[in-house]
Amino acid sequence: MDSDTAWSICNLLQKLARNGQAILCTIHQPSGVLLQMFDKLLILSEGQSLYFGDVGFRGETMIGYFERHGAPKCGAEANPAEWILDLVGKYPDVQGALDWAKIWRESEERSKIRQEIQKLEADIMRVPVSKSRSGNSKYATSWLKQLFLVTALVNGFSFWKAPNTLQGIQNQIFSLFILLVIFSTQVQLVVVRFTENRTLYELRERPSRTYSWTVFILSNVLAEIPSHTILAVLTFLLWYYPLGTWRNALELGQLNERAGLTFLLVWSFLVFTQTFPQMVMTIMPDAPTGINIANLLYLFCLLFCG
């Protein structure tokens, strides 16, 4: 890019840094004016650190370090960036060249930086870790867990011990329908989070070949199974027993079998609410489209019993 564009970009980055945004970028052959806009500089050569520290006004701090360790003087009219490139571009086996990687490893500046890093690590370890996943949330649990608990409680106790009459059977079926309607709310939460993760994967992990698409999908599914298993246990206890459907199994002597089967159905449904939206979103361009298509397909499942 031309010098004006580079200046504009660096000026924007400097404004962001002054407002608290951490900026990390790679620069290649900058001018002396652009170089002094950066606070700190890390010089690498073939994977080895040659210098890390402040740049200083007109690069004086950085230039002073190299000159103290045997580098030739940098002229007043010289570009500090080009001077550094010429200096570190020579291989150590070339006559007159210095091993700047070794010099940096043995330097006092590197020791001070390591001490500062150790101090920061010690300070972080002393900070108490919050047990809440939501950080500064004013609620004890996440919004999703609140939804499941309240839905199960209200649903189960609204039809407390529904009898085996015609009205009681209708209440039991309607209670089951209310439980299944959770999907429409769950899909909105899952789709938005999955879309954000997919965008991040397509921009960062896939170009760098950090991991494959199948690993990304499986990790999203497996990471949610433990939490949905816990929610399935709570939903089952707060819905199945208050509703009173267990009495039907008691009369037939199948209490354990039907209770276990009902729990598996609740668990599979909660896992379905997590995996089905992700499956739909793998081919959808954006979150609103994915939410509408997933709800439409789920409506078909309710109308045609799966």
Rounded to whole angstroms, the Cα distance separating 187 from 276 reads 8
* C-alpha distance from residue 201 to each of 22, 153, 184, 213, 287 (Å): 22, 38, 26, 9, 16
Mean pLDDT of the chain: 76
Q: 48-54 and 40-45: which strand pairing?
A: antiparallel
pLDDT at 81: 78
pLDDT at 132: 47
Q: How many CB atoms lie within 10 A of CB 23?
A: 12
* C-alpha distance from residue 267 to each of 146, 155, 228, 260 (Å): 17, 17, 7, 10
Is residue 66 within 8 A of residue 101, CB to CB? The reply is no
pLDDT at 140: 57
Task: Kindly provide the b/e burial profile for residues 180-193, where b requires at least 16 CB atoms within 10 angstroms of the residue's own CB.
Answer: eebbeebbbbbbbb
pLDDT at 136: 53
Rounded to whole angstroms, the Cα distance separating 98 from 69 reads 9
* C-alpha distance from residue 230 to each of 148, 185, 224, 226 (Å): 11, 19, 10, 6
* C-alpha distance from residue 66 to each of 44, 79, 115, 176 (Å): 14, 15, 21, 75
**For the chain, percent helix, then strand, then coil, each to nearest 5?**
65, 5, 30
- pLDDT per position as a tens digit, 105-152: 888 888 888 888 888 888 877 766 555 444 455 655 666 566 555 555
Is residue 40 within 8 A of residue 52, CB to CB? The reply is yes
Beta-strand runs (E) in the chain: 40-45, 48-54
pLDDT at 134: 45
- pLDDT per position as a tens digit, 217-232: 888 888 888 888 888 8
Is residue 90 within 8 A of residue 97, CB to CB? The reply is yes
**Half-sphere exposure in the Cβ direction for 219 (13 Å, CA):** 10
Rounded to whole angstroms, the Cα distance separating 194 from 287 reads 9
Regions of the chain where pLDDT drops below 70: 1, 90-97, 127-174, 183, 246-252, 254, 305-306
Rounded to whole angstroms, the Cα distance separating 262 from 268 reads 10
DSSP string across 42-109: EEEETTEEEEEEE--GGGHHHHHHHHHTTPPPPPTTS-HHHHHHHHHTS-TTSTT---HHHHHHTSHH
